[in-house]
Amino acid sequence: EAGVVQSPRYKIIEKKQPVAFWCNPISGHNTLYWYLQNLGQGPELLIRYENEEAVDDSQLPKDRFSAERLKGVDSTLKIQPAELGDSAVYLCASTGATGELFFGEGSRLTVL
């Protein structure tokens, strides 16, 4: 069974440019999470989806960050415009019936 797939794995952009990250969860997993992991820190939740509905986006900086999960499967996280402080790893995770979280390998963003 394929795990959570994220792309791109690495992205380098200049500040003020847009960037998007894509996540494909494990098949059948209805709950999808985006986490932010700064260097030397633990992951912090940005947004949680139940199917296509964002049920917890309280920690998502909505002035520059947006996310969507249009058909309740794949999800995209966008930053526009990116700032230097956005350099981090963006982790996607999903859960199914057992509730256990399965993480993708992450997308590492460097903003110059």
Partner 1 sequence: AQSVTQLDSQVPVFEEAPVELRCNYSSSVSVYLFWYVQYPNQGLQLLLKYLSGSTLVKGINGFEAEFNKSQTSFHLRKPSVHISDTAEYFCAVSPLNSGYSTLTFGKGTMLLVSP
Distance of CA 59 to the CA centre of its chain: 12
Q: Which is nearer to partner 1, 63 or 100 (CB)?
A: 100
Nearer to partner 1, 67 or 91 (CB): 91
CB 106, min distance to partner 1, A? 6
| Residue 82 or 104 having the CB closest to partner 1 | 104
Strand 44-50, strand 31-37: pairing: antiparallel
**Shortest approach of partner 1 to residue 87 CB, angstroms?**
16
Other beta carbons within 10 angstroms of residue 86's beta carbon come to: 20
For 84, phi then psi, to 5°, come to -55, -40
Dist. CA 93–CA 102, nearest whole Å:
5
Angstrom distance (rounded) from CA 50 to CA 55: 6
For the bound state, the minimum distance from the C-beta of residue 50 to partner 1, rounded and expressed in Å, comes to 9
User: Binding residues for partner 1, per CB under 8 A?
Assistant: 4, 31, 40-45, 48, 56, 91, 93, 95, 99-101, 103-106, 108
CB of residue 14 to partner 1, shortest distance in Å: 23
